[in-house]
Amino acid sequence: MTTLADAMHPGRPRAVLALADGTVFRGWGFGARGTAVGEVVFNTCMTGYQEILTDPSYHRQIVVMTPVQIGNTGVNSRDEESSRPWVSGFVVRESSRIFSNWRAGGGMESYLERHGIPGIEGIDTRALTRRIRDKGAQGGAIGVGDPDEKGLVEAARSWGSMVGKDLVREVTPEKEYTWTEGPFHPLRGTGPSGGKYHVVAVDYRIQRNILRELSGVGCRVTVVPAATGSERILGLKPDGVFLSNGPGDPEPLGYAVSTIRDLFGKVPIFGICLGHQILGLALGGRTCKLDFGHHGGNHPVRNLSTGRIEITSQNHGFVVDPESLLRAGQRVEVTHVNLNDQTVEGIRHLQFPAFSVQYHPEASPGPHDSGYLFEEFTRMMDEFSGK
C-alpha cells in the first residue's frame, strides 16, 4: 500500500538505518541498493559534501550530514579529495534530485550509485545527531531495497568499534609517487607546483588539497606508503617530512610510530590529524577515543602563542592525551586547544624541529584561517638547513 510519505519520495526504495543500541530509523534509499556497515558519525559542514565523501579518513564510517538538504550543487572532478568516495554510507534529511552549478558534471545520487554506496534520506537527522552526541558514535547499518531490520541491528552490533583497528593498511597506496599539481582556483585553474623544498609525505591516506597546499608554498612532494621505513625516507634526501591524515585508531600503527622516532632531529616534521596523533605517540604519549569525534568545518581552536581564535575544519575520532606527554618526560608544548572541549589541537617539540595540529589547515572543505601552518613548515625547513 502506497502511503503519503511514499508519494513524497516517488521512485525511492524503502531504506532503514539501524544502530547498535537497537534504534531504527526508517526512510527512503538513494545511491546504491544493498547494505552498508560502519561507525555512524555526524558532520556539521554546510557545504563541501563531495570533499567529505572522498575524504579517506571516513573509511568504514557512515556519515550523517546535519544541514537539511544535500546534493544541490552536484559533483565535479575537481572537488574530489581522492580517487573515489570512502564513506561506507551516507545519511541526509533530504537528497536534492535537482543540481545546479556551473562546475557540476553530474548528480550526487548517480555518483554514489556508480561507486556502490547506499544512502538514506527522509529520516529525522536532528534526532539521530542528538543520539550520537549524547550516546556516542556507534556501529550502524544501512539497508536499501528490502531492509531486514533485525538483521541490520545485528550487523550494527557485530561491527564493534574503531578502537584497535589499523585501517591505514587498507587505504595507503602501494607505491611511491610524485605530486606535480599546484593549488587550484575555480576561475584561474591550477597554479604552479614544486620549488625550493623537497618534502616526503608519508601517506596514511592523504587528501589531495594538502598536496596542493604544499606545492603552493614551494614544495616538491614525494608521496610514500605508510609503512615506508626511515632509511628509505632519509634516502630520498628530503628537506622535510609531512605526516598525513588517515582513518582509524592510531595506536595499532606501531610501524609508523617507530619510523617517526627514527626521524627525530634528522629532518623537520609536520603532521596533521592522524599524523598529529602518530607524532604524539612517537613522543611517548597516548591517544584516546572521543565520544562522537570532531567532524565539521566550524570548530574553534585557540592558538596559545598568539591568542588568536581559528575556525577550523576537522575530521577525527581520537585525540592525544596531554598528560601522557608530560609523563613521558618529553620537551613538548601544547600550541593549540579546542575551545569546545579543551582537547589538544596542536603540539610542538622544543628540542627537535617537529610540530603538528589535529585539524585540517588545507581546509577542503572549510575555512582558511590555518593556512599559515604550511608557511610555518617552510620556515622550519629553512632554519634547519640554513637555506
Residue in the structure block whose three cell numbers are 556508480? 114
Catalytic-residue membership of 362: yes
Q: Are 374 and 214 in contact (CB under 8 A)?
A: yes
How far apart CA 359 and CA 82 sit, in angstroms, is: 18
Q: Are 55 and 184 in contact (CB under 8 A)?
A: no
Helix (H, G, I), strand (E, B) or coil at 17: strand
Q: Which three cell numbers stand for residue 363?
A: 581546509
Catalytic residue from among 59, 295, 336, 360: 360
Give ∠ CA 325-328-333 in degrees, rounded to 5: 35
Encode 18-47 in three state secondary structure. EECCCCEEEEEEEECCEEEEEEEEEECCCC
Start-end of H helices in the chain = 4-7, 49-53, 108-114, 125-135, 149-159, 168-171, 208-216, 230-235, 254-263, 274-282, 322-327, 372-385
Catalytic residue from among 80, 121, 273, 299: 273
DSSP type of residue 260? H
How far apart CA 147 and CA 172 sit, in angstroms, is: 33
How far apart CA 139 and CA 2 sit, in angstroms, is: 31
Count other C-beta atoms under 10 Å from residue 102's C-beta. Answer: 7
Catalytic-residue membership of 349: no
Start-end of H helices in 18-107 = 49-53
Catalytic-residue membership of 251: no
What positions carry a catalytic annotation?
273, 360, 362
